Each structure stands twice: as structure tokens, then as C-alpha cells.
Amino acid sequence: MSATATAGPAAGRPRTRPGRARALCRVAPGALLVLLALGGPFLAPHTLDTPVTAPYAPPGGGALLGGDQLGRDVLSRLLHGGTALIASALLVAVAVTLLATLLGCAAVLRPALGRAVERTADVSILLPSVLGIMLVALAWPGGGRGPVVAAAVLLGVPYAVRIVAGAAAPLASSGYVEAAVSRGEGLAYLAVRELLPNLRATVLALFGLRFVEGVYVISMAGFLQIGPQPPAADWALMVRENAPGILLNPWGVLAPSLAVALLAISVNLAANSLAPQSVYKAVTFK
Amino acid sequence: MAALSRPAPLPRRAAPLPRRAAAWPRRAAALAVEVAGAAARRALLLVVLLAVVFAAVEALPGDAATAAAERGESAADLAARRHLLGLDRPLWERFLEWMTALPTGDLGTSAQGRQVTELLADPFPNTLLLGASAFVLTVVLSLALGCWAAARPGRLTDRLIGHAATASFAVPEFVVSVLLLLVLSLWTGWLPAVTVTGADGAPASWAMLIMPVVALVIPQTGWNTRIVRGALADQTATPHVEAAVLDGLPTRQVLLRHALPGAVPAIATGIATSTGMLLGGAVVVETLFNYPGVGTVLAGAVAARDTPLIAGVVICAGAAISLVLLAADLLRARVVGARA
């Protein structure tokens, strides 16, 4: 509810809106990193699962970043390890944004649904996302990435709906929407043709932040070993697996940690510059 | 809710001193009603969460009996274990029993057959200690940084704090932990790398708390600094703050006495909602530092696929978060009521 309160005219902060070139500069690192992670598997010098050096071997010989706990090449695993992580985070971001936009538009047009959404968000705030994902992923036989993504979507939607509803509420009482309602238009028409075009900036900002949140949640799950399972290469899982050998080959832990950090920061900067500042603020705020 | 419980402002302001003193018991009663109302609302939401968690555990495939099953166990063995754990009784009966047992501190039985309460009795206070230290430090730091940035709008300090906050809130806690561990422990040797547990089950030295707390504080401070900065920016645009500036009051006074009080509701909401992130992060950070908290218990629960134990942790965390949200509700109601 306070999302509406802060969505009002932006504060009297003297702030020049960054130009197109500057926005491009901010989006570039994120885009580059995503491209590198997606194309990484083709650049890897070694295969994923055959040992090329001694366990926890320091950098040298054929392995530029040394070996991991089984002597596999850290660099090759690093190049492979981002693809699934980024793809899962993107999937979470797209699914949450899509569901939240539709539900949010419906919530402002149907007050009963709106109240239900508010209560759901109130309840879901009591459940830390890490614990919620653990609960779902562990009760699911087989585990793996699927349940983690499903749980992340499920837990992300209520709060995101609240944001979209907060932004859509002032639109729903505007003249053109009331005119469409009195014309007798249906819910779907009202949501897609009347509300959605005016919510572009909010939805874009929401997508950016959900991607950031997706990277956070998916990598957290990987680190807790509830997402990808051991033979797979995954940055977060690498941090966990190689932590015991941090003294012998710090790169086995440092390289994937830095990769996750760089991904999170650059995606966040990109999300920050994609949307107008006032909208970004409304989305960040509770 | 705040609007309903707001005391009528005009008579109170107009009333002379003796009458205000006479109205004191009535105001205390109103306050008690308000606190009880807010607490009841939060408790209700917590009960709903419990119901959802219970239903989720039930609805998801796989239960405590299959989780603890060993390879080659026959269907009859499984059924016997299910009967032993009471899983063959109807859903509503078990839910009712579980809910009525909760107030007595009974959280059910883990997949290994031990009491969940017993498993969490030592670790949960440790996690609360970690989370509470990080919470206090986050509040202090984000208020200080947010105010500092707001005192110099658009200048270098403001932009630096803004960028640092934006960059830090996206980074997962385990990444911050790894970097801290490498720099502060392994390369310089200033702080112990793992937490050693003393005889009482708590960390043996306060120095072992430093790195886990810092790892939690950095991302959360980034997030909350943005909230404080944004709330202050909204306040500086209001007429009463503009009037204070035009009166020529010093920046510090305008910020702390005129802008900050109005920003308190937004800040309280923002910081209270980050409690969940703090507790979730604590679970992860503990795993890395071998801190004797819930995270270490959960790491075992993950391997054993022990859903009842995780549900127990969810309940404890939900209760802690409810308390912080309740405090934020009351603070917001007070501030809004006083300013009406």
C-alpha cells in the first residue's frame, strides 16, 4: 500500500535523467556478462568432468585457475557454470513479471481480488524466500532446478502483484478506463488494452528487479545444494564444493564468487538505468 | 487501521493541562487496545502462514516416512513407519493436533523421530543473536548513510553512497562471506575463519560473530540506505521542510528534526520487511562459517530431506518476523497518529 504513496511525483532531488548513451554504458556490462556466460561452454578449454590436474592444485600447467576438489579444471567449469544459473534467473524473472502484471491489473479492476492479493502478500512476507524454497525443493522427490524455479516464482509473485496493483490503482479510476467499463468491456480487454500500455515503465523496472532477485535466489539455492546436483557445474555450487580447499587453491572459490558478484551488480545497474528513476523507486519501495 | 485508532486530535490539543492529566488512563487504555489489535492481526497472519506451510508439506509429494526410508525397504515397512509417525490419519485431524500443540512449544517430530523443538532449542537463539546484531547494525548504518547522503543532495557523497548501496544490495550473502573470509581471515589472519562452539552451545568468542554479522549487514545496509535516502527525499519536498529551509535553519536540524520524523513510517516499513532477508541470509552465512545456528541444522535437514524440521524453522522465523513487523506497525501508528 505504501508503494502507491511513494509512486507519486519524484522527490525534489536535482537529478538529470541519464542520456541514452549513458544508459547504454550501464546496460553493457550486464549484457556482456550474460552473453559471456551463455557462450562460455563453447570457449572452455577442457571437458567438465575429467580431472586434468591434482585436487585443489594451484594455477599452472594446463589449468589457468587451478583444479577443484576432484582436480577438474576450474576455468572450464567457470565458463560452463553460468548458463543454467542465468537461464533459471531469467525464467523466474519472466514468469513472475508476467503473472504479477496480469494479476495486478485484475486486482485493481476487481476489488475483492485486490484484497485477497494484499492478504497473500502480508502472509508471504513472513516466509523468508530461502526457507520457502528449501521447503518446496526438499519435499519434491528428485529435487533439481525445476522445483527451485517453481518455488521462486510462487514466492515472488505476491509481492510483485502488490507493486503492479499499486502502480495501476490510479489508472483504474481514470476517465478512459471508466469509459471502457461503462462500455461494458470485459476484464481481459480492460487489463490488456487499457491498463497495460500505461504500465510499461513499471513492468520494465519490475522485470529488472525480479532478474536481480532471481540471480540472488537461484544462486542461494545452488549454494545450499538444493538446486543443481553435484556433477553439474554451477557457480554457486562451485563455491560450496571448493570451500574446504580454499587455502590450497583460493581461485576455486574466489573465481565463481566474483562471477556471481559481478553478475548481480551489473544486472542491478542495468535494471537501475532501464527504467525512469521515479518508477524504479516505486518498485524498490515496499 | 492507523486511521481508525487515531485519537481525535483537536480536543486533545485544546485541552488545558489538568484535563489532559485526567485523560491519561483513557489514553493508556486506547494504547493497550491498539497494541492488542495490531498483535491479534499479526498473530492471525502467522496462523495463516502455518496453515499454508502445513498444507504445502502435505500437498507436496513425499512425506517424512519416504524421506527416512532406506533402499530396499518394502511397502509394508513404509506403511508401518507411516503409521508410527501418525501419517495415516486424516489431514484435518493432524492439522488440528499440530496447531493445538504449537502453543505448548511442540513443533512435531522430525523425519529422524526426534522432537523438532529439541533440535532447535540450542541453535535458534544463536541465529537470533546473529540476526539481531546484524539488524541493529543495519538500522544504525543505513540511517547514518541515508542521512549523510540526504544532507548533500546531488553531490559526490550522495552519488557515491547511492552507487555503493545499489551495487551491494544485489550481492548474495555467501559471496560477501567468501570475500570477507579470504581477506580478513586467510590472507591477513585477523579473525578466526570458523566458529568454535563453547560448552554452552554458543560461539566461544565474540570475535567469531564479526564476519557473519558483517556479511549479513553489507547487502541489507545497501537496500535500507536506499529506502532511507528515498524517504528523506520525499520529505524534503514537503512544505513544512521547505519552510524550515527558508527559515535558515541549519541542514542538520532540518534533516533530523523536520524531515526525519515524517520519513519514519516509510523507513520502519522498509527495514521491517528486510528482517526476512536477514534471517534467510543468516541461514546461508552460518553454513559457510560453521556457526552453531539454524543454518547448520538445516544443512543436515537438506541432506536427510527432513521436511518437518524445515517447517519448524519456518514457523520460528515467521514468529520472529511477525514481532518486528508488529513493532513497525505500532511505530507507524504512533507517528501517523501524533502528526494527524
Residue B226, Cβ density class (10 Å: 0-12 exposed, 13-18 middle, ≥19 buried): buried
pLDDT of B166-194, one tens digit each?
A: 888 888 888 888 888 888 877 787 777 77
B259–chain A Cβ distance below 8 A for any pair: no
B233–chain A Cβ distance below 8 A for any pair: yes
Average pLDDT rounded to a whole number, residues A117-121 = 83
Which range of A44-48, A218-222, A267-271 scores highest in mean pLDDT? It is A218-222
Average pLDDT rounded to a whole number, residues B97-108 = 74
First to last CA, chain B: 14
Listed by number, the residues of chain B in 26-65 with a beta carbon closer than 8 Å to a beta carbon of chain A are 45-46, 48-49, 52-53, 56-57, 60-62
Average pLDDT of chain B to the nearest whole number: 78
| pLDDT(A136) > 50 | yes
Listed by number, the residues of chain B in 70-109 with a beta carbon closer than 8 Å to a beta carbon of chain A are none
CB-CB: which of B236, B279, B302 is closest to A138?
B302
pLDDT at B68: 57
Contact: A6, B266; criterion CB under 8 Å: yes
| pLDDT(A214) > 80 | yes
Show residues of chain A in contact with B306, CB under 8 Å.
138
**B292 within 8 A of B24, measured Cβ to Cβ:** no
Taking CA–CA distances from B281, the nearest residue in chain A reads: A130
Show residues of chain B in contact with A253, CB under 8 Å.
178, 182
**B271 within 8 A of B101, measured Cβ to Cβ:** no
CA within 13 Å, CB half, A200: 5
The fraction of chain B above a pLDDT of 70, given in percent, is 79
Contact: A131, B280; criterion CB under 8 Å: yes
Which residue from B161, B280, B178 is spatially nearest to B224, judged by alpha carbons?
A: B161
A242–chain B Cβ distance below 8 A for any pair: no
Residues A150 and A152: their CA atoms lie apart, in Å, by 6
Show residues of chain B in contact with A255, CB under 8 Å.
none
CB-CB: which of A11, A246, A250 is closest to B236?
A11
Hey, what's the cell of A282? 516505486
pLDDT of A47-100, one tens digit each?
A: 777 777 777 777 776 667 777 777 777 777 888 888 888 888 889 999 999 999
| pLDDT(B287) > 70 | yes
Show residues of chain A in contact with B64, CB under 8 Å.
none
CB-CB: which of A125, A134, A215 is closest to B302?
A134
Residue B228, Cβ density class (10 Å: 0-12 exposed, 13-18 middle, ≥19 buried): buried
Q: What is the complex's ipTM, to 2 decimals?
A: 0.77
Which residue from A85, A70, A68 is spatially nearest to A239, judged by alpha carbons?
A: A68
**Residue whose cell numbers read 525397504:** B73
Listed by number, the residues of chain A in 119-138 with a beta carbon closer than 8 Å to a beta carbon of chain B are 119, 122-123, 125-132, 134-136, 138
| Higher pLDDT pick, B334 / B213 | B213
pLDDT at B84: 67
Which residue from B9, B114, B146, B52 is spatially nearest to A11, judged by alpha carbons?
A: B146
CA within 13 Å, CB half, B308: 25
| pLDDT(A174) > 70 | yes
Residues B227 and A219: their CA atoms lie apart, in Å, by 25
Contact: A12, B237; criterion CB under 8 Å: yes
| pLDDT(A223) > 60 | yes
B181–chain A Cβ distance below 8 A for any pair: yes
| pLDDT(B72) > 80 | no
Contact: A285, B265; criterion CB under 8 Å: no
| pLDDT(A137) > 90 | no
Collapsing DSSP to helix, strand or coil, B204 comes out as coil
Hey, what's the cell of A216? 540472488
- The CA distances from residue A204 to A98, B169, B244, B258, in Å, are 11, 19, 38, 35
Contact: A260, B172; criterion CB under 8 Å: yes
Hey, what's the cell of B210? 564479526
Residue B199: pLDDT band with limits 50, 70, 90: low
pLDDT of A31-47, one tens digit each?
A: 887 788 777 777 777 77
pLDDT of B103-155, one tens digit each?
A: 777 777 776 777 788 888 888 888 888 899 999 999 999 999 998 988 888 88
pLDDT of B288-327, one tens digit each?
A: 888 888 887 887 776 666 777 877 888 888 888 888 888 8
pLDDT at A91: 92
Beta-carbon contacts of residue A124 (< 8 Å; ≥ 6 apart): A155, A158, A159
